Amino acid sequence: MAFVDFVTPIHKKTKRDYVARVMEGNKAEFAEIAKRFARDYWDGDRKHGYGGFSYDGRWRSVAEAMAKHYNLQPGQRVLDVGCGKAFLLYELMQAVPGLQVAGIDVSQYAIDHAKDEVRPFLLQGTAQNLPFEDNSFDFVFSINTLHNLFIYDLKSAVQHIERVSRGNSYICVEAYRNEQEKVNLLYWQLTCEAFFSKKEWEWLYKEWVFTGDYSFIYFE
């Protein structure tokens, strides 16, 4: 298990007003809407989620970094757990032609609005119950998804990722290192259920015998 950061440069490109987030209206109501993971979350008003999640090529650098780090080759199988609209899977297909990809997400809306090239390889389902055989993927990753699970489902999801991977896996979740980052996370998040510090996440990974790589998103 090692710390490997692919996502921070993209995360830091977005400017966030944390106080405004909790002052713009009924945040509890907004969270209820966001947790449906339907159109409002992906392509509705910003107060309900992304405020429009469209392809812009920003995930290409992440795909190239992953392909290089894990030495991904044509014919290998890759799974994205919590793929959303699967823009990263699409970029991996471009970075490594011939890569066999699969994605799973709880949101049917996201799958229906994925790029045409990758949509046939996507499945609606949950991270805590992956419908794949043991050791069936050369690389399994999950970015900005598992913190949306309660701890009993989170444990199952981490263990499923470990189960279906042949060795290479990577998880990125939201976390905090200090009180300011904790407050910012609480102000900004809409769908998070697992509010853990960096040290707690690392302890959980060891407790659940996760052997893959990991990193965190911090709200500085």
pLDDT at 205 over 90: yes
Please state the rounded mean pLDDT for residues 176-197. 98
pLDDT at 219 over 90: yes
Whats the size of the chain, residue-wise? 220
pLDDT at 189 over 90: yes
- Closest of 185, 177, 167, 169 to residue 201, by C-alpha: 177
pLDDT for 51: 96
pLDDT at 184 over 90: yes
% of residues, the chain, pLDDT over 70: 100
pLDDT for 24: 87
Torsion over CA of 59, 42, 193 and 168, rounded to 10 degrees?
A: -30
The tens digit of pLDDT for each residue in 117-133 reads 999 999 999 999 999 99
Mean pLDDT of the chain: 97
pLDDT at 22 over 90: no
Q: Which amino acid is at 114?
A: A
Please state the rounded mean pLDDT for residues 88-112. 98
The tens digit of pLDDT for each residue in 164-180 reads 999 999 999 999 999 99
% of residues, the chain, pLDDT over 90: 96
pLDDT for 188: 97
CA distance 100 to 89: 10
CATH of span 8-217:
3.40.50.150
pLDDT for 176: 98
pLDDT at 217 over 90: yes
The tens digit of pLDDT for each residue in 38-89 reads 999 999 999 999 999 999 999 999 999 999 999 999 999 999 999 999 999 9
CA distance 92 to 101: 8
Q: Are 72 and 96 in contact (CB under 8 A)?
A: yes
